[in-house]
Structure 1
Amino acid sequence: MMDTEQAQTHASGRNTDTATLGRGVRLPRTERRAQLLAAAQEVFAANGYHAAAMDDIAERAGVSKPVLYQHFPGKLDLYIALLESHVDTLVSTVQQALASTTDNKQRVRNAVRAFFEFVNNDVGAFRMVFESDLRGEPAVQEAVDRATSASVDAITETITADAGLDEEKARLLAVGLVGMSQVSARFWLANSSMSLEEAVSLTSTLAWRGIGAGFPLSGRD
C-alpha cells in the first residue's frame, strides 16, 4: 500500500523524482527517509533531543510536517531510527575491518581505527551512540548496548577462530579491545592534538602487545 507521498508520485505519472531538497519535491520513500534522517541529525546535534522540535526538522528537510509524520510517528521514533542507523554504520565498519585481512596484527589495528574514524568522521553520530542523554529510554539503551555487543561479538568470533581460545576467554579479550578503542577514541577527540594516525598507532600497539604477546595469533611484530 502506497503512502501519500508515493501515491502523489504515482498519480503524476512518475515513479521517481530528482533527489533534491525543497518543499513539493517528491522522492522515493527510501530517499525521503534518508533526507529526513540527515535533517534530524543536524537538528538533534544543534539542539539536543529535548529542545529539538519536529517543526524544525521538517523545515530543515524542506518538507511539510505531515510528510515527516508519514515516515516517523513521533520525535522518539525518529531519534531511535537515526541512532540505529549510526549503530549499524559502526558495527558494519568493525566487521569490515576484521574481514579485510587475515593478518591479526592488522586486524587489531583496523578494529581500533574503526572506532577512531567513527568518532572523528561524525561527531554528532558518535555523541548519539556514546553520550546519549536518553539512556533511560529502553529502546535507546538497547541500541546503544548493541553498538558494543555486536562489535564484541565480531571480535570474539575472530579471536576464537584464530587464537584457539574458548569463547569466554575470547569474549573477555574482545570486550577489552572494544572498551580500549572506545574510551581512547573519545579521549583523543576531546583532549588530544595528535593526528588520527598516531593515535590509532599508539592504541593498536598497546592492544597488540597485550593480545599478540600472550596468544599465538598469525601477525608478527
Structure 2
Amino acid sequence: MAKPEVRKLPKPERRTQLLDTARDILRECGADALTLGHLAERAGVSKPIAYEHFGTREGLLIALSEEIEARHVGKLKAGLEKAPPTLPAIADVISSAYIGCALESGPEWLAMSGALRGNAQMDAVQQTLADDYVAIIAAALARFSTLPPDDLRLRCVGLAGAAETMARELIRGRIGENTASANLAALIMHGIAA
C-alpha cells in the first residue's frame, strides 16, 4: 500500500503539526517513544523534515517545553491585565493560570520534563523559563509586599516550586483542580508577607 502524498505546508504550519503530533505520541506512548524518526513517521513526513525543525530529540522536547511555557505565560499575562488590583485577585489569577495550564498539558508534561532531567541544554532552557516566570509573578505581587526585592524574588522562586509540585499532584489525580488552585492562591497570599 502506497503512502498518501504529504501536502507541503509552510514551515510554521509544519512545525505546529509536528509539535501536535509529538504531544500525541507523548500522551499515547510516553517519552521513550518520542524520537524524531517516530515523529516523522506519525506525521507523514520524511526524517530530514523532522530534523530540520528540531535538530535532536532534546531539541524537540525543548520546543514542546517552550510552547507550553509560552501558552502559560500568555494566559497569566492576560489574566493579570484584567484582574482587579487586589492581592486575592492577583493570587487567584496566578494560581488558576498555573493549575489550568498543568491540567491542559496533562501527563505528557510530566513525561517530557522527566525525559529531559540532567540534560545541560534543557537545564539552561528551563532555568531561563523559570527565571522569566518568577520575574512576572514577582512584578505582579510587588505592590502587595513589603519584602526587599531580592527576598520577594526568592519567595516567588519557592512559590513556583510549590506550584509545580501541586500541579504534579493534580495530574496524578491526588487532588482536584479547585483544591490545587485555592491552596496555591493561599500560599501566594501568605508567602509574600514580611
Q: Are 2:111 and 1:110 equivalent residues in the alignment? A: no
Q: Which residue in 2 is equivalent to 1:143?
A: 125
Q: Are 2:189 and 1:201 equivalent residues in the alignment? A: no
CA contact (8 A) 1:58 1:64 kept: yes
Opposite residue 93 of structure 1, the aligned amino acid is K
| Residues in 2 aligned to 1:191 and 1:177: alpha-carbon distance in whole angstroms | 21
Q: Are 2:109 and 1:126 equivalent residues in the alignment? A: yes
1:109: how far off? 1.0
Specify every segment of 5 or more residues in structure 2 that has no aligned partner in the other structure, as ranges: none
| Residues in 1 aligned to 2:154 and 2:139: alpha-carbon distance in whole angstroms | 12
CA contact (8 A) 1:23 1:64 kept: no
Specify every segment of 5 or more residues in structure 1 that has no aligned partner in the other structure, as ranges: 1-21, 216-221
Instruction: Return closer, same or farther for 1:137/1:192 CA change in 2, 3 Å cut-off.
Output: closer
| Residues in 2 aligned to 1:167 and 1:139: alpha-carbon distance in whole angstroms | 29
Q: Deviations over 1:195-217 (max 9, x none)?
A: x2243123323432454xx46xx
The two structures, once aligned, show a CA RMSD in angstroms of 2.5
1:110: how far off? 1.1
Q: Aligned pairs, how many?
A: 190
Instruction: Return closer, same or farther for 1:62/1:172 CA change in 2, 3 Å cut-off.
Output: same
1:49: how far off? 4.0
Opposite residue 24 of structure 2, the aligned amino acid is E
TM-score, normalising length: structure 2: 0.81
Q: Which residue in 2 is equivalent to 1:179?
A: 161
Structure 1 SS opposite 2:115: coil
1:125: how far off? 4.7
Q: Deviations over 1:47-94 (max 9, x none)?
A: 444443333211211222233233233323222222222222223333
Task: Identify which of structures 1 and 2 has the higher relative contact order when contacts are C-alpha pairs closer than 8 Å and 6+ apart.
Answer: 2
Q: Are 2:152 and 1:160 equivalent residues in the alignment? A: no
- Give 1 or 2: higher helix fraction: 2
Aligned-pair identity (%) = 26
Q: Are 2:57 and 1:75 equivalent residues in the alignment? A: yes
Please tell me whether Structure 1 or Structure 2 has the larger radius of gyration of its CA atoms: 1
| Residues in 1 aligned to 2:47 and 2:92: alpha-carbon distance in whole angstroms | 45
CA contact (8 A) 1:87 1:144 kept: no
